[in-house]
């Protein structure tokens, strides 16, 4: 298949993306960058940093401010945790709750998280390692399962002396337990939610529990924010939203369309990991889980639609901005 650049050069169809954005008012989710960690603002921790660490964080520290009592409580908790597990302390310090002042509920929950670590260090290290290795820590803003742990204590979902994953041993089930119905102020803003959905499993959870299928009306495809606001759409809208979330958080995500002829086609979101292709679908055999792995896009296209005549693969922006002219590139078959 032609790359996007090769295709645009060959066809002469140069999409004026900026103009389209201005015209449709689409809020494009920009690829994430890690939040600065609050631990780098703590003087006692600053003294322990290597020259290389100091060089990397220069200019990325949180803005200095007059410390409140809750800021000071949080600093003390992070100091204790940093002595035991510096990486965990740094990652916990990237949570949005610690980016602009610390509330009483947040400092109290943080103290409970640190106490939990000291009581169950082996369990905590094992689970944190799984969380950290499944994400793209150099791209995603923060670790969503860690935020879920903090929320659990803020919302009094856990008993202080118990291991919080006793009943929900799987990370996804644990996060789902804390997230609940995914409603309220925490779930109102597109940018915040798409940053939180920084694992394919979390995107799939949100898709399964929050998005509803609406039949195709023949109108333009929805931009990701519109799908977020409507909490649903048709298969193209699902695929665009899902691919947007995945791409924002570091994944090699694409939109795949498998077409049998006439109006008989289906569109899904895909991502690559370790050379294998996975699919997030809104219908059929893989609607409740992540499908795959597949060796190629052709294999995937034939799995979601029997005997397709054409299979196309695009990044979600190319697919969305050129939707009225679809198809606009060579098919894989």
pLDDT per position in the chain (333 positions), as tens? 333 233 223 333 323 233 333 334 455 677 889 999 999 999 999 999 888 888 887 776 677 778 899 999 999 999 999 999 999 999 999 999 999 899 999 999 999 999 999 999 999 999 999 888 877 888 999 999 999 999 999 999 998 788 998 888 889 999 999 999 999 999 999 999 999 999 999 999 999 999 999 987 766 899 999 999 999 999 999 999 999 999 999 999 999 999 998 888 899 999 999 999 999 999 866 678 899 999 999 999 999 988 999 999 999 999 999 887 777 677 887
Contacts of residue 263, Cβ cutoff 8 Å, sequence gap at least 6: none
Is 260 domain-assigned? yes
Is 333 domain-assigned? no
CA torsion sign for 6, 12, 13, 16 is positive
Q: What is the pLDDT of residue 4?
A: 28
Is 21 domain-assigned? yes
Whole-angstrom distance, CA of residue 310 vs CA of residue 280: 20
Q: What is the pLDDT of residue 219?
A: 66
Q: What is the pLDDT of residue 202?
A: 97
CB burial readout 127-165, b (16+ within 10 A) else e: bbeebeebbebeebbbbbbbbbbbbbbbeeebeeeeebb
Q: State the residue range of the domain holding 24.
A: 4-31+196-325
Of the residues 166, 188, 205, the one at which a domain ends? 166
Q: What is the pLDDT of residues 207-247, one digit of tens each?
A: 999 999 998 776 689 999 999 999 999 999 999 999 999 99
Whole-angstrom distance, CA of residue 119 vs CA of residue 100: 29
222, 311: one domain: yes
Is 42 domain-assigned? yes
Question: Within its chain, how far is the Cα of 176 from the centroid?
Answer: 15
Length of the chain in residues, anyone? 333
115, 42: one domain: yes
210, 272: one domain: yes
Of the residues 119, 147, 166, the one at which a domain ends? 166
Q: What is the pLDDT of residue 73?
A: 97
Phi, psi of 323 (to 5 degrees): -55, -40
43, 139: one domain: yes
201, 314: one domain: yes
Is 182 domain-assigned? no
Whole-angstrom distance, CA of residue 95 vs CA of residue 295: 36
146, 74: one domain: yes
284, 214: one domain: yes
The helix (H) or strand (E) run that includes residue 238 is helix 235-248
201, 315: one domain: yes
160, 239: one domain: no
Whole-angstrom distance, CA of residue 141 vs CA of residue 195: 7
206, 315: one domain: yes
* 192: exposed, middle or buried (Cβ count in 10 Å: 0-12, 13-18, 19+): middle
Phi, psi of 284 (to 5 degrees): 70, -150
Q: What is the pLDDT of residues 92-125, one digit of tens each?
A: 999 999 998 999 999 999 999 999 999 999 999 9
Is 311 domain-assigned? yes
Would you say the pTM of this structure is higher than 0.85? yes
* 116: exposed, middle or buried (Cβ count in 10 Å: 0-12, 13-18, 19+): buried
Looking at the structure of the chain, the number of domains it has is 2
Q: What is the CATH number of the domain that holds 320?
A: 3.10.620
Q: What is the pLDDT of residue 218?
A: 67
Q: What is the pLDDT of residue 154?
A: 97
Of the residues 166, 187, 221, the one at which a domain ends? 166
Q: Calculate helix-pair angle for 235-248, 200-210, nearest 10 degrees.
A: 150
54, 15: one domain: no
Q: Please state, in angstroms and as integers, the Cα–Cα distance from residue 149 to each residue in 110, 161, 193, following that order.
A: 9, 14, 17
Q: Are 270 and 277 in contact (CB under 8 A)?
A: yes
76, 148: one domain: yes
Is 180 domain-assigned? no
Is 81 domain-assigned? yes
Whole-angstrom distance, CA of residue 258 vs CA of residue 254: 13
């Amino acid at each position: 298949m032609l790359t996007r650049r090769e295709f645009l050069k060959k066809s002469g169809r140069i999409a004026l993306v900026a103009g389209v954005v201005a015209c449709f008012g689409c809020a494009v989710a920009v690829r994430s960058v890690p939040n600065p960690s609050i631990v780098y603002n703590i003087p006692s921790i600053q003294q322990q940093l290597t020259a290389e660490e100091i060089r990397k964080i220069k200019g990325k520290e949180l803005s200095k401010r007059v410390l409140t009592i809750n800021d000071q409580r949080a600093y003390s908790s992070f100091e204790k945790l940093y002595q035991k597990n510096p990486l965990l302390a740094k990652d916990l310090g990237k949570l949005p709750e610690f980016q602009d002042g610390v509330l009483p509920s947040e400092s109290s929950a943080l103290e409970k998280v640190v106490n939990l670590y000291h009581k169950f260090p082996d369990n905590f290290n094992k689970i944190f390692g799984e969380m950290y290795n499944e994400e793209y820590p150099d791209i995603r803003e923060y670790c969503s399962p860690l935020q879920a742990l903090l929320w659990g204590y803020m919302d009094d979902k856990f008993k202080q002396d118990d291991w919080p994953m006793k009943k929900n041993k799987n990370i996804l089930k644990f996060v789902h337990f804390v997230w609940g119905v995914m409603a309220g102020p925490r779930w109102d803003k597109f940018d915040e939610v798409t940053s939180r959905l920084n694992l394919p499993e979390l995107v799939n959870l949100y898709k399964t529990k929050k998005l509803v299928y609406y039949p195709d009306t023949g109108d333009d495809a929805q931009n990701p924010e519109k799908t977020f606001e409507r909490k649903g759409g048709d298969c193209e809208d699902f695929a665009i939203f899902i691919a947007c979330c995945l791409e924002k958080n570091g994944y090699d995500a694409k939109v795949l369309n498998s077409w049998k002829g006439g109006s008989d086609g289906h569109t899904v979101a895909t991502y690559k990991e370790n050379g294998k292709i996975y699919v997030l679908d809104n219908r059929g055999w893989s609607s409740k889980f992540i499908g795959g792995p597949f060796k190629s896009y052709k294999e995937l296209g034939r799995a979601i639609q029997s005997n397709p005549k054409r299979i196309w693969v695009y990044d979600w922006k190319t697919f969305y901005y050129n939707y009225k002219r679809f198809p606009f590139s060579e098919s894989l078959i």
